[in-house]
């Protein structure tokens, strides 16, 4: 049981998480073993995600006055929340884990200014992460440059043959 000071600290900590994170995902974890929860937390920590088991009644009080107030109805039963700056990575981790462990149920969440349902979270999980998107863009942009570099670095004889073939075509 928490005393009044502990409750106030919990509420202010949770308010901070709700206000300072770009994405929040609410889950039920009933039936997960402690080692499974530890595995999920460890994976989330690697990606800068905070995964916190909640006290529903006090968490609902923490939601008051925040941008996430509409999530209050999700806080029933054994609830845990994932707080993150990168909503795509946390959605990917949660959906992948929930496919392996049917006891983790994603209830919904909040990203940007939007309330998310389970389908929305699953769609977000299919998007490329920022690093993946950057790699694709670099690959697209570097492809033509690589072709030009290959031609320029080719031995002089190959360039001469290519030039000779081009001159034959123009006559």
Quick one: pLDDT at residue 59?
94
Mean pLDDT of 96-118: 93
The percent of residues above 90 in pLDDT, for the chain, comes to 63
At 64, the pLDDT band (50, 70, 90 cuts) reads: very high
Q: Using an 8 Å Cβ cutoff, are 23 and 109 in contact?
A: yes
Strand partners, 142: none
Same domain, 86 and 143: no
* Among candidate residues 44, 65, 56, 59, the one with its CA nearest the CA of residue 14: 59
Contact of 124 with 62, CB cutoff 8 Å: no
Range name among 89-93, 111-115, 116-120, 129-133 with the lowest pLDDT average: 129-133
Q: What is the mean pLDDT of the chain?
A: 86
Is the predicted pLDDT of residue 13 greater than 70, yes or no?
Answer: yes
Residue 74 has pLDDT above 90, yes or no: yes
Do 114 and 139 belong to one domain?
no
Per the structure, the count of domains in the chain is 2
Domain with 149 in it: 131-170
């Amino acid at each position: 049981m928490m005393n009044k000071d502990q409750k106030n600290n919990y509420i202010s900590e949770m308010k901070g998480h709700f206000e300072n994170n770009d994405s929040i995902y609410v889950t039920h974890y009933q039936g997960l073993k402690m080692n499974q929860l530890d595995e999920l937390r460890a994976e989330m920590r690697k990606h800068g995600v905070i995964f916190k088991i909640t006290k529903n009644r006090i968490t609902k009080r923490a939601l008051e006055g925040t941008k996430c107030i509409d999530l209050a109805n999700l806080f029933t039963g054994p609830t845990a929340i994932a707080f993150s700056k990168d909503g795509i990575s946390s959605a990917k981790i949660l959906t992948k884990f929930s496919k392996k462990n049917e006891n983790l149920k994603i209830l919904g969440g909040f990203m940007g200014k939007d309330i998310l349902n389970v389908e929305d979270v699953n769609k977000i999980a299919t998007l490329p992460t920022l690093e993946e998107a950057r790699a694709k863009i670099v690959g697209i942009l570097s492809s033509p440059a690589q072709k030009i570099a290959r031609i320029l670095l080719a031995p002089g004889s190959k360039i001469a043959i290519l030039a000779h073939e081009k001159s034959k075509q123009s006559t």
